């Protein structure tokens, strides 16, 4: 008859401690990885916004806000969620730029500021100017005609991150 | 001489054809368009289906061929909130099991007649987004019942 004897003097305690250390390390890694992923997601979104913006002289407010406020969370089902952050930290038009839509048909006074030599150019009315829109009582009465086409920057970042996540898995398997 | 379209263009046209055919059977008075510019020229309710991105993935390690992912955005502009929910739910159920992939060709470069030849199947890889769009104060009344659906589609046999 073969009997096994287990000696648990301090060793069991060490084993539990080691496991705990491993779990803590894994948790730490997850947080840092999540931060990296959030940063990457924000960069993908900002890149999409920047590339799709046609008019010169854009403020870059949305792209900058996305870089700072983007979050990334792993879900229990093995997926992930990308969020653009709190509404209070984003420009009010973030949803319009993402999904697209029609702006209110009420006219506004303003002009396309081409900013020639650092001075505002009031002469460009309607779609003639190529700069950014500037609301001004001294401008022209302008009515939006065409709907804004959505950039879908959230979906774009999500699809790019999916590709990236696949790459990570392959690398990890390769290392083992 | 007949000219053939790329797989990307075929996927877009196959998807559009499938949704258009099924809309005609199950719904009446719903317009379908494939670009944002066309969308503004027709009245609500309108479904706008467009291929926004193509992701090129390697089939396998060491292989030089691609297995593409196609990202489609489907915008539904309904005339009521109930219609928005019904139409988006109907659409998700309709496309759920996939649809026929066609190779599309033109008999002559300027010909408007397209020939569709079944050559595989389009399948939904994942659903990235399916939400009501809330534009707040900046949005127009026409956008009040707007649903945005984003899906990733793959092509296979």
pLDDT at A173: 45
Residue A126 has pLDDT above 70, yes or no: no
Of the two residues A139 and B32, the one the predictor is more confident about is B32
pTM: 0.77
Q: Is A158 on the interface with B (CB under 8 A)?
A: yes
- Segment A119-132 shows an average pLDDT of 60
- Contact A60/A50 with Cβ under 8 angstroms? yes
Integer CA distances (angstroms), A167 to A42, A128, B156, in order: 19, 46, 22
Show residues of chain A in contact with B128, CB under 8 Å. 155, 158-159
Domains (range + CATH), chain B: 3-59+66-156 (3.30.2000)
* Weakly modelled stretches of chain B, pLDDT under 70: 1-2, 138
pLDDT at A96: 87
Give the percent of chain A with pLDDT over 90.
Answer: 2
Residue A134 has pLDDT above 90, yes or no: no
CA distance A23 to chain B (A): 31
Q: Is B126 on the interface with A (CB under 8 A)?
A: yes
The predicted complex's ipTM stands at: 0.80
Q: Is A87 on the interface with B (CB under 8 A)?
A: no
Sign (positive or negative) of CA dihedral B60, B64, B65, B70: positive
Confidence band, pLDDT 50/70/90 cuts, at residue A80:
confident
Confidence band, pLDDT 50/70/90 cuts, at residue A176:
very low
Residue whose pair of structure tokens reads 């092509």 in the numeric block: B155
What are the E-state strand segments in chain B? 3-4, 31-33, 46-58, 66-77, 99-106, 114-132, 146-156
Determine, for residues B55 and A103 on separate chains, whether the beta-carbon distance falls below 8 Å: no
Q: What is the pLDDT of residues A49-60, one digit of tens each?
A: 888 887 766 778
Ranges of each domain in chain A: 11-102+147-170, 103-145
Determine, for residues A163 and B138 on separate chains, whether the beta-carbon distance falls below 8 Å: no
pLDDT at B92: 94
């Amino acid at each position: 008859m073969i009997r096994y004897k287990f000696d648990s003097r301090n060793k069991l305690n060490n084993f539990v401690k080691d496991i705990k250390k491993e779990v803590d390390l894994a948790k730490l890694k997850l947080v840092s990885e999540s931060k990296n992923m959030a940063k990457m997601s924000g960069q993908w979104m900002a890149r999409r916004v920047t590339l799709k913006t046609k008019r010169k002289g854009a403020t870059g407010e949305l792209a900058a806000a996305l870089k700072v406020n983007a979050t990334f969370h792993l879900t229990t089902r093995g997926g992930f969620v990308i969020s653009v952050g709190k509404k209070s930290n984003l420009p009010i038009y973030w949803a319009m730029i993402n999904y697209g839509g029609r702006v209110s048909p009420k006219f506004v006074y303003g002009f396309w500021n081409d900013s020639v030599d650092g001075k505002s150019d009031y002469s460009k009315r309607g779609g003639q100017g190529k700069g950014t829109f500037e609301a001004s009582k001294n401008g022209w009465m302008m009515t939006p005609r065409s709907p804004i086409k959505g950039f879908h920057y959230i979906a774009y970042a999500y699809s790019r991150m999916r590709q990236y996540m696949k790459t990570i898995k392959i690398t990890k398997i390769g290392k083992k | 001489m007949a000219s053939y379209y790329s797989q990307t263009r075929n996927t877009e046209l196959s998807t559009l054809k499938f949704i258009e055919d099924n809309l005609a059977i199950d719904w009446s008075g719903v317009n379908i368009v494939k670009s944002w510019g066309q969308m503004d020229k027709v009245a609500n309710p309108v479904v706008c289906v467009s291929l926004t991105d193509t992701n090129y993935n390697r089939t396998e390690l060491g292989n030089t061929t691609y297995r593409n992912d196609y990202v489609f955005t489907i915008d539904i502009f309904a005339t009521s909130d109930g219609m928005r929910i019904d139409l988006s739910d109907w659409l998700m159920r309709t496309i759920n099991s996939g649809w026929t992939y066609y190779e599309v060709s033109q008999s002559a470069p300027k010909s408007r007649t397209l020939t569709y030849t079944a050559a595989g199947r389009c399948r939904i890889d994942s659903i990235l987004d399916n939400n009501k769009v809330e534009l707040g104060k900046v949005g127009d009344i026409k956008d009040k019942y707007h649903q945005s659906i984003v899906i990733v589609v793959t092509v296979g046999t």
